[in-house]
Amino acid sequence: MVKLIVSLLVLAVVAQQAYGDFKCSLEVPEIPKGWMDLKDGCLNGMRHQIQEEINASYQYLAMGAYFARDSVNRPGFAETFFKSAKEEREHGSKLIEYLSMRGQLTDNVSNLINVPIVAKQEWKDGAAALEDALELETKVTRSIRKLIQTCEGKPYNHYHLVDYLTGVYLEEQLHGQRELAGKLTTLKKMMSTHGELGEFLFDKNL
């Protein structure tokens, strides 16, 4: 059910941006709202993190599309970045599912997700792209840490959310950063001795 809600939300964002604002004509019934206690700074931080994940997903899509060009033809890099784009999009979806669980998907969808404009769409080589990817992951990690600090501090103390972010998201981010750093080091070593052939061979093993 939650996945259906998320899918409908994404479709609603696209429709809203294409056709303008729209609202449901049904009156919202009155129910107790004491359980909806995720608010203020922590809620705003969650919304910001969702947008960060979507932004990262679009940037990775641009990377994958560039290396998939016939004039570039680095299928290993393309597959890696397309996979990363999917992972970032899934991260955003999971955060939306969490907001749904906490009763927070009641606002205009345009206030939750905005389609980003990808500024950079070309790279001089694979090493430059991996450097950008590592910087992107570092930015997302910092954003998650800031969100954790906000939600665990007074007056919020949302322990469940903090545990979720620390055990699921932060763990994956740290492993991802280390993996990217290792790949970048290996690629630079190969390119320093073999030039473009080194990048070609590295791409074949991604």
Query: From the annotation, which residues make up the binding site for Fe cation?
Result: 53, 88, 91, 137, 173
Distance CA 75, CA 87 (A): 18
Binding residues: 53, 88, 91, 137, 173
Quote the distance between the C-alpha of residue 18 and its chain's center. Answer: 23
Question: Quick one: which of 64, 85, 60 has its CA closest to 75?
Answer: 64
